[in-house]
């Protein structure tokens, strides 16, 4: 019941916005060229979907995100754990990380194009760069503040150092890793759209930038709606994974994607 209530509340806010979106251009309070009414965007969205064009762009974007995100996870998680557990290494790496991290993902675009030309590779590189540092810093922070009680318990029960990492430290870090992955996937999805606005001929970002060039505001907005929907779905999927994997924790509550993403 309360779940249904929550959903209704969420839907009602959306409904109000949609009505405003429909009315403002219709009443000419906003130039319909700049903000086409919702029904036109919806119709455009449906047409793009039916023609298969939208699906193709989404799939391409998702594949790039997947590649960059998996690369980022594979590099950032082991590296974060290593740096978290080894203060000597961490001290050496921290200035570098501190300097590289504030470079926003789009700032890598010129370099990515110089290095990788056009196509998928620069996009994957940008996603990797844009996601990796956030992931790395998050995992590192969790690893360095790990509670040694459980590690000690594992060691006194006969675990080797390697076993302690695999059987104690990894499970201990899993909540933080999953949170970071969720943040990272959101970042990756943002990066792909930015990356696709240059140097590619496919993908959601391309669709939108192309539509802008042709002054098809309805397509731009349809693209944005799709970006939001897909991002929401991705986060929801990881949220389910998170809840499944952390069932042993009390009161594991999923927080809103946008609340978290704006923190980073």
Partner 1 sequence: MAFLSVQQITKTFGNGPANVPALVDISLDVAEGEFVVVLGPSGCGKTTLLQIVAGLEQPSQGAVRLRGQPIRGWGRERALVFQEGNLFPWLTARDNVAFGLRVQGIGPEERRATAHQLLSHLGLEGCEQLYPHQLSGGMRQRVAIARALAVNPEVLLLDEPFASVDALTRTRLQEELLRIWQEYRKTVLFVTHNIHEALLLADRLVLLMPRPGRVKACFDLDLPRPRRAYPAELAAWEQRLEREMAEAEQAPHVSVPAWEPQSLAQRSPSAKL
Helix (H, G, I), strand (E, B) or coil at 62: helix
Q: How far apart are CA 188 and CA 194, in angstroms?
A: 10
- Interface with partner 1 includes 163 (CB under 8 A)? yes
Between 96 and 248, whose beta carbon lies closer to partner 1? 248
- Interface with partner 1 includes 167 (CB under 8 A)? yes
Nearest distance from C-beta of residue 162 to partner 1, angstroms: 10
- Contact mark string toward partner 1, 109..148, x via CB under 8 A: ----------------------------------------
Nearest distance from C-beta of residue 168 to partner 1, angstroms: 7
- Which residues, 6+ apart, have CB-to-CB distance to 127 below 8 Å? 64, 65, 67, 68, 69, 72, 105, 188, 191, 192, 195
Number of H helices, E strands in the chain: 12, 0
- Interface with partner 1 includes 159 (CB under 8 A)? yes
| 252 dihedral zone (left: phi>0; alpha: psi -120 to 50; beta) | beta
Nearest distance from C-beta of residue 156 to partner 1, angstroms: 5
Nearest distance from C-beta of residue 152 to partner 1, angstroms: 5
Neighbours of 170 (CB within 10 A): 14
Helix (H, G, I), strand (E, B) or coil at 116: helix
Among positions 229-248, residues that touch partner 1 (CB under 8 A) are 248
Between 3 and 253, whose beta carbon lies closer to partner 1? 253
User: Do residues 67 and 117 lie in contact, with contact meaning Cβ atoms separated by under 8 Å?
Assistant: no
Nearest distance from C-beta of residue 125 to partner 1, angstroms: 35
Binding site for partner 1 (CB under 8 A): 149-150, 152-160, 163, 167-168, 171-172, 174, 248-250
């Amino acid at each position: 019941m309360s779940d249904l209530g929550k959903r209704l509340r969420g839907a009602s806010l959306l409904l109000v916005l949609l009505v405003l979106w429909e009315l403002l251009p219709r009443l000419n309070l906003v130039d319909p060229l700049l903000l086409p009414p919702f029904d036109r965007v919806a119709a455009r969205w449906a047409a793009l979907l039916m023609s298969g064009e939208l699906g193709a762009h989404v799939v391409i974007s998702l594949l790039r995100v997947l590649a960059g995100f998996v690369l980022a996870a594979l590099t950032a998680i082991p590296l974060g754990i290593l740096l978290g557990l080894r203060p000597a290494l961490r001290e050496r790496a921290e200035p570098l990380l501190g300097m590289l991290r504030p470079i926003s993902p789009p700032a890598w675009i010129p370099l990515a194009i110089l290095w990788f030309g056009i196509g998928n590779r620069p996009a994957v590189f940008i996603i990797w760069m844009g996601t990796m540092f956030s992931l790395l810093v998050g995992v590192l922070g969790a690893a360095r503040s790990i509670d040694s009680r459980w590690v000690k318990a594992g060691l006194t029960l006969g675990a080797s150092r390697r076993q302690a990492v695999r059987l104690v430290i990894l499970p201990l870090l899993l909540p933080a890793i999953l949170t970071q992955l969720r943040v990272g996937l959101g970042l990756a999805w943002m990066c792909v759209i930015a990356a696709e606005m240059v140097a590619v001929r496919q993908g959601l970002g391309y669709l939108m930038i192309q539509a802008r060039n042709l002054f098809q505001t309805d397509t731009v907005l349809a693209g944005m709606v799709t970006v939001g929907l897909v991002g929401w779905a991705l986060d929801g999927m990881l949220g389910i994974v998170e809840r499944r994997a952390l069932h042993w924790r009390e009161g594991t509550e999923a927080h809103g994607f946008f609340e978290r993403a704006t923190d980073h």
